[in-house]
A and B are shown apart, each in its own frame.
Chain A
């Protein structure tokens, strides 16, 4: 029997705005399966996003949803979580939203280790505005603002998150659909900041400029570059050239921010 996604989706809100072949829908289905697996009470779950194609995701889901300003999702979500620590807080957005205009909020949310799950859909481009290069557009690639090839080096989002202090960091791709929900679920269960980077495809604004003739080509590329962490340990540096590690990249148990603040309250109250 087909999986029942409909019960999680707000009536009348589909079809979604995403282009045919876009991976964001795959991620949304993964998120629904993860929320089901974690038995999240939707009334007590806030899904927060910024601006961009990926940031339209919360509007489709029957939860407390907050579509904020460009780059600010993590900071809004921090306010929600601080004010109501018993709420489940999930953030979703794209690579430009999260690591360019929202980079400061992203790293500081990681540093605080505040309990939320941030799903960052990295499709290597600013899709909604028509395909300008993002901090994750591979060097040399074409975008509407890099007609001669992108001169910029890239951010490795997962490494950035680990460096900034996130205590759960995992990566997968839109091709690995069945891994998405498992990693998100693990992130939700983790007490602290969980970053789930999903390498995604944008056939409309990235693929067509970079010689991916079809959605299948893009998906095949995601499949090809992904190397599970375990497999990577047996591979040589040469074999790993151009590959991206997937799976749980980092996990550590450290004090969570709202729990730390609960201690502040106790101290202030004379305990």
Chain B
């Protein structure tokens, strides 16, 4: 049977992807250009008995999401750069308290109010480092409406599996454009539910990693009484300042991501095998880059595209391999230089690494990328 199709905005696709993943709580605050995610969910969630709440501010929205997640809900918030800036402290809380949740960031220009209706890709370092203290991060960067749907589902899966906040970053262009979506049927995409504790409430410790890197999280109200705090804590969840316990916990929380990169990583390559120049681009910019690759190939220039879908953890291994095999990497991103520094770091001088950026509210167009590639050749 033909799949159900519709022409949808990226933001609408995101909301429907969340529902597919089993999202049953949304806490948000209106902000351009992400608001359609909230609008769709305010309509759809209660139909399934889910909850939608518009909170008093961005911080409250993030707090409500963590609170709901601790009761077992699959919880989501959607915002843009300024909202993520406000949420940063609590993103760190979700990291240290190991509370699954998904944060959508529809990226616009910045800093500050910037250009609310213009696209940007300037929040990519914020997605990694945007909270104080050491922590791991997972961030996904879909490039089309279909992929926004699918990556939103995957974000929930990763959040639940790794017990942590996961960000989905897409720029205003894909957030607001409309494309055809083919709706996956139930079962077409994997949906991961939270692992329940295997021990009795009396034996349960929320951070007991003796049986695995990621301890199961019980839900409030399910018979398990336990303590959750933003302080450094021992396996039982209660605060500790014992050096060895604090150190082991901090390291485990990063290792649970970095040891599982193969499971989390996702990227797409296009005409990369014989490429002299690799364009390294994500989100809507990767679409311009693909267009540029095709045009450059017509001119006899061997260009290829590397498109990270998982942006964090950084695809270090593959990027390093590409640096070995090509003459140059052009990092195209709608900012004045962010991911390019990561690419330079892992390229270790083995090839030329250049940046093509733009922050005027206009997308990076194929011509710009083509010119940059020609400079490298």
Instruction: Report which A residues bind B (CB closer than 8 A).
Output: 10, 13, 42-44, 46, 48, 58-59, 62-69, 72, 75-80, 82-84, 86-87, 104-105, 107-108, 261, 264-265, 267-269
Cross-chain contact A264 with B220 (CB below 8 angstroms): no
Cross-chain contact A79 with B66 (CB below 8 angstroms): yes
Cross-chain contact A108 with B55 (CB below 8 angstroms): yes
> Which of these, B24, B27, B231, contacts A79 with CB under 8 Å?
B27
Query: 19 additional contacts, CB 8 Å, given A44-B221, A62-B225?
Result: A13-B238, A43-B223, A43-B225, A59-B239, A65-B228, A66-B220, A68-B66, A68-B230, A69-B90, A76-B67, A78-B63, A79-B53, A79-B68, A82-B25, A83-B72, A104-B56, A105-B63, A107-B56, A108-B56
B345 at the interface (CB under 8 A from A): no
Return chain B residues, CB-CB under 8 Å to A108.
55-56, 60
Instruction: Report which B residues bind A (CB closer than 8 A).
Output: 24-25, 27, 43, 46-47, 49, 51, 53, 55-57, 59-61, 63-73, 75, 89-90, 93, 201, 220-221, 223-231, 238-239
Return chain A residues, CB-CB under 8 Å to B56.
75, 104-105, 107-108
Cross-chain contact A87 with B59 (CB below 8 angstroms): no
Cross-chain contact A87 with B60 (CB below 8 angstroms): no
Complex CA gap A13/B229 in Å reads 15
Complex CA gap A170/B65 in Å reads 29
Complex CA gap A38/B1 in Å reads 57
Query: A75-B55, A86-B221 are contacts. A67–B27 as well, Cβ < 8 Å?
Result: no
Q: CB-nearest residue of chain A relative to B61?
A: A75
> Which of these, B49, B90, B220, contacts A265 with CB under 8 Å?
B49
Cross-chain contact B71 with A84 (CB below 8 angstroms): yes
Return chain A residues, CB-CB under 8 Å to B71.
79-80, 83-84, 87
Cross-chain contact B68 with A83 (CB below 8 angstroms): yes
Return chain A residues, CB-CB under 8 Å to B72.
83-84
> Which of these, B47, B64, B220, B223, contacts A75 with CB under 8 Å?
B64
Return chain B residues, CB-CB under 8 Å to A10.
227
21 A-B pairs within 8 Å (CB atoms) are namely: A43-B201, A43-B224, A63-B225, A64-B221, A65-B228, A66-B70, A66-B228, A68-B93, A72-B90, A75-B59, A75-B67, A78-B55, A78-B67, A82-B53, A83-B25, A83-B71, A83-B73, A87-B220, A108-B60, A265-B49, A268-B46
Cross-chain contact A67 with B231 (CB below 8 angstroms): yes
Complex CA gap A67/B230 in Å reads 7
Q: CB-nearest residue of chain B relative to A106?
A: B56
Cross-chain contact A83 with B67 (CB below 8 angstroms): yes
> Which of these, B51, B57, B63, B75, contacts A261 with CB under 8 Å?
B51
Q: Which 9 A-B pairs have the closest CB atoms?
A: A79-B67, A79-B64, A75-B63, A268-B46, A83-B68, A108-B56, A75-B60, A76-B67, A67-B229
Cross-chain contact A79 with B228 (CB below 8 angstroms): no
Cross-chain contact B221 with A66 (CB below 8 angstroms): no
Q: CB-nearest residue of chain B relative to A44?
A: B221
Q: CB-nearest residue of chain B relative to A87?
A: B221
How far in angstroms is the closest Cβ of chain B from A15? Answer: 14
How far in angstroms is the closest Cβ of chain A from B221? Answer: 5
> Which of these, B53, B70, B227, B231, contacts A58 with CB under 8 Å?
B227
How far in angstroms is the closest Cβ of chain B from A268? Answer: 4
Interface-centre pick from A65, A77, A80, A265 (highest chain B CB count, 10 A): A80
By secondary structure, the A interface counts as helix
> Which of these, A59, A62, A65, A80, contacts B67 with CB under 8 Å?
A80
Query: A59-B227, A68-B93 are contacts. A84–B221 as well, Cβ < 8 Å?
Result: yes
Q: CB-nearest residue of chain B relative to A76?
A: B67
Cross-chain contact B238 with A76 (CB below 8 angstroms): no
Complex CA gap A48/B71 in Å reads 13
Cross-chain contact B53 with A78 (CB below 8 angstroms): yes
Cross-chain contact A64 with B67 (CB below 8 angstroms): no
Cross-chain contact A269 with B66 (CB below 8 angstroms): no
Cross-chain contact B43 with A268 (CB below 8 angstroms): yes
Cross-chain contact B93 with A80 (CB below 8 angstroms): no
Return chain B residues, CB-CB under 8 Å to A64.
220-221, 224-226
Cross-chain contact B67 with A268 (CB below 8 angstroms): no
Q: CB-nearest residue of chain A relative to B60?
A: A75
Interface-centre pick from B27, B49, B64, B201 (highest chain A CB count, 10 A): B64
Interface-centre pick from A68, A83, A269 (highest chain B CB count, 10 A): A83
Return chain B residues, CB-CB under 8 Å to A59.
227, 229, 238-239
Query: A79-B27, A84-B221, A87-B220 are contacts. A72–B59 as well, Cβ < 8 Å?
Result: yes
Complex CA gap A269/B50 in Å reads 11
Cross-chain contact A80 with B68 (CB below 8 angstroms): yes
Return chain B residues, CB-CB under 8 Å to A267.
46
Query: A66-B228, A79-B65, A83-B67 are contacts. A46–B221 as well, Cβ < 8 Å?
Result: yes
Cross-chain contact A80 with B70 (CB below 8 angstroms): yes
Return chain A residues, CB-CB under 8 Å to B63.
68-69, 72, 75-76, 78-79, 105
Cross-chain contact A72 with B60 (CB below 8 angstroms): yes
> Which of these, A13, A67, A75, A79, contacts B75 with CB under 8 Å?
A79
> Which of these, B25, B46, B67, B69, contacts A48 with CB under 8 Å?
B67
Return chain B residues, CB-CB under 8 Å to A80.
67-68, 70-71, 220
Q: CB-nearest residue of chain B relative to A268?
A: B46
Query: A264-B46, A265-B49 are contacts. A78–B64 as well, Cβ < 8 Å?
Result: yes
Complex CA gap A136/B361 in Å reads 46
Cross-chain contact B227 with A269 (CB below 8 angstroms): no
Cross-chain contact A104 with B68 (CB below 8 angstroms): no
Return chain B residues, CB-CB under 8 Å to A76.
63-64, 66-67
Q: CB-nearest residue of chain B relative to A263?
A: B46
How far in angstroms is the closest Cβ of chain B from A14? Answer: 12
Cross-chain contact A79 with B220 (CB below 8 angstroms): no
